[in-house]
Structure 1
Amino acid sequence: MKRVLALMASAVLATTILAGCSSTTGSKTDDKKGSDKITVVWYPNESGEDLKDCRDEFGKIIEKATGKKVEHKTTTDYSIAIETIANNNAAISFMGAQGYVEAHNKNAKIMPLAVQSGKSGTLDDAIYYSWIAVNKGEEEQYKDGDKFKLDKIEGKKISFVSNSSTSGFKVPTQNIVTYFNKTDKWKDLKKDDLLQGGKDKFFSEVLFGGSHQGSAANLLTNRADVAAFCDTTLANYVEVADGKPNTAGTTYRIKNDAADPFTNLHGKEYVIISSSPVLNAPFAMNTSVLTDKEQKDIQDAFLSDEVTNNEKIFVPKSSKFKGLIQKEGKEKFLKVEDSWFNPIRDLSK
């Protein structure tokens, strides 16, 4: 944990903000009634038909752990997923750190269930990456010498994911504000100023893709000049065309078998101009919907060797299965505390 905190501190100084994720069981008495089914609500990023088998695999794990039928609710908007679990209409959700914080603020019974470790099998490297990208062929204008800088994004059309997205809004806007607050012109710039574009605004136009895939599609269809999205959600759809993964200057290409919204964008390329580490996203649970036993049984299942070795959950690189987590080392689910999300809470202060 000390290494994570150290990484976060250095990242802030370099305008690279880390977002937190975590996991703990909430308190609840066993005499509280559980429902006859367990509802899992999914963000738009994980709601596509191409990830149905992956969602079903998580459902099977929960069904086996509890003996109850699992119902999946897919969504088209971050806020719908957040409201669904916060309003006690779902028991579990896979959420970004910002979404978790918002849900927990609305309902203190929303608690972390499990978070994916890093390659080491620990929390020390439990990170993914928030990108700012531009279309291939336009990247040179964002350089100062041989280095990419954010200066030239001013006045551009940008696409974010959702204002409830950690890596698709909170982290990139913090980076932008931190960077431009050092200039006289934008010394008073705030994150809220980046929600809308227009005359005398920082951006000429601001779009929201609704998902990381949608934000990337806004860029590749030229609706936006610049876009923010993350590496993990795009992993099923893209491949490195040139460069080192998650590094400024690296070119990514849409795969020839990429599903919606990329079916008409195969072969299109984009270039990363900024890449910031973000703490991994959690599965969250509603402890006012699940009994103590259900919470423990589901958490025990997620932390089990059976799930760690499940290739439909931790998907090997060589597999053609479309999943949420790519197995690159000793990845597994871990339990963490709610306080691990405090860096994200701090971003809103």
Structure 2
Amino acid sequence: MRRKSPVFILVLMLMLLLAACSESSGTGGKNTEAADGEIDIVWYPNESGSDMKSSRDEIGALITDATGQEVKHHLTTDYAIAIETLVNNNAELAFMGAQGYIEANNRNEAIKPLVVPTGSSGTLDDAVYYSWLAVNKDDQEDFKEAGEFSLDKIAEKKMSFVSNSSTSGFKVPSSGIISHFSDENLAETDLMEGGPLFSQVLFGNSHQGSAVNLLNGNADVAAFCDTCVENYVEIVEGEPNRPGSVYRVKDDAAEPFNTVTGKEFILISVTPVLNAPFVGNMDLLGEEGFKKLQDYFSADEVANNEKIFVPEDSGESALFFKTGDERFAPVEDKWFDPIRELSK
């Protein structure tokens, strides 16, 4: 046999080395070229529907204006997928609840909060939304004791949560339920399946899905939040975000509520929750890129953009609405400590 020349062997080794490097870059997260040319933002299932497309597109345009880079939207059907995408360095940005951010930050310290939408005051003082426990209006008497709603009555019922990574669709309501049934020595895991408290436990994988679980009769009680269903429902009795208030699904409601139009539900418990943040992956954005986005999101120009903060009376579906002086504001990690405390 002819002996291979040293040059041939050197070329072969170089080819093998390049192939190995190429394979490595494909499994460890975004490669350098993709990171330089495109910014990926991942969305929870709640914001991945077609009715939220205009809001997603406008947020994408905002990111492009701030960075000069094109934006790719990662739409998901599962909270865990959204969190994994961010943690594994496959996205620079995400819009997620406080609990999802905490889980992501615990697994990847490079995940940091960028901004949160403020309350109507334009500050973080009222930057809250609301976690609801709701039942079908016609079944409300089954959840009352001496004429008042009582959490005692949810025992042995079919319960729907959103996801165990949802702040307002699991973490906050489960904490309240565990506190109420303190004599039962329940843990969070006890609320994830039928047995210790509920006859059956369902997960809707989105706030919309959890609400539909209630309205189509698959669940007796459901946890979901006000902001994630406000585009589909209207209040018909009482005041917004108050126990005893009744909401009705609009006749022209988009999916998945198009199958339960006209159905009514009543709130039996309401709890304020810290607003959801936009978060960034510092390893992919870098400090300069992170700060550039934070400053731009927080600018007056964005606060006054009616395609991002849509006027409340517009009748349009949107991710954020303008009722007063709402805007995006920078926030630090410690702002989310009250949610962390729920796990201790």
Give the TM-score of the pair, scaled to structure 1: 0.87
2:274 maps to 1:279:
yes
2:295 maps to 1:300:
yes
Q: How many angstroms does 1:204 deviate by? A: 0.4
Deviations 1:129-151 (A, max 9, x none): 00000001111221222321101
Q: Structure 1: how far apart are the matches of 2:34 and 2:93? A: 16
Q: 2:318 maps to which residue?
A: 323
Larger RCO, structures 1/2 (Cα 8 Å, 6+ apart): 1
Q: 1:176 maps to which residue?
A: 177
Q: 1:233 maps to which residue?
A: 228
1:191 corresponds, among 188, 207, 213, to 188
Name the SS for the 1:141 alignment partner. helix
Q: How many angstroms does 1:320 deviate by? A: 3.0
Q: How many angstroms does 1:288 deviate by? A: 0.5
8 A contact 1:77–1:210 mirrored in 2: yes
2:46 maps to 1:51:
no
Name the SS for the 2:341 alignment partner. helix
Root-mean-square deviation (CA, aligned residues, Å) is 1.5
Q: 2:66 maps to which residue?
A: 65
Q: 2:102 maps to which residue?
A: 101
In structure 1, the gaps of 5 or more residues are 1-31
Number of equivalenced pairs:
313
Deviations 1:167-208 (A, max 9, x none): 000010100000011x4xx1x11221111103xx21000000
Q: 1:3 maps to which residue?
A: none
Q: Structure 1: how far apart are the matches of 2:52 and 2:343? A: 32
Name the SS for the 1:35 alignment partner. helix
Deviations 1:206-252 (A, max 9, x none): 00000000000000000000000000111111100111100000000
Q: How many angstroms does 1:93 deviate by? A: 0.5
Name the SS for the 2:209 alignment partner. helix
Give the TM-score of the pair, scaled to structure 2: 0.89
Q: How many angstroms does 1:315 deviate by? A: 1.3
Q: 1:27 maps to which residue?
A: none
Q: Structure 1: how far apart are the matches of 2:242 and 2:146? A: 17
Q: Structure 1: how far apart are the matches of 2:52 and 2:216? A: 23
Q: Structure 1: how far apart are the matches of 2:297 and 2:193? A: 40
Q: Structure 2: how far apart are the matches of 1:106 and 1:292? A: 19
**Which deviates more from structure 2 when the two are superposed, residues 246-255 or residues 338-347?**
338-347
In structure 2, the gaps of 5 or more residues are 1-32
- Equivalent position amino acid for 1:147 in 2: E
Q: Which has the larger radius of gyration?
A: 2
Q: Structure 1: how far apart are the matches of 2:219 and 2:34? A: 49
- Equivalent position amino acid for 2:79 in 1: Y
Q: Structure 1: how far apart are the matches of 2:87 and 2:274? A: 22
Q: What fraction of aligned residue pairs are identical, expressed as a percent?
A: 58
Q: Structure 2: how far apart are the matches of 1:146 and 1:121? A: 39
Q: 2:84 maps to which residue?
A: 83
Q: How many angstroms does 1:298 deviate by? A: 1.1
Name the SS for the 2:283 alignment partner. coil
Q: 1:142 maps to which residue?
A: 143
Compare the two structures and name the one with the higher helix fraction.
2
Q: Structure 1: how far apart are the matches of 2:48 and 2:174? A: 25
**Which deviates more from structure 2 when the two are superposed, residues 69-78 or residues 294-303?**
294-303
- Equivalent position amino acid for 2:164 in 1: N
- Equivalent position amino acid for 2:180 in 1: Y
8 A contact 1:312–1:321 mirrored in 2: no
Q: How many angstroms does 1:33 deviate by? A: 9.9
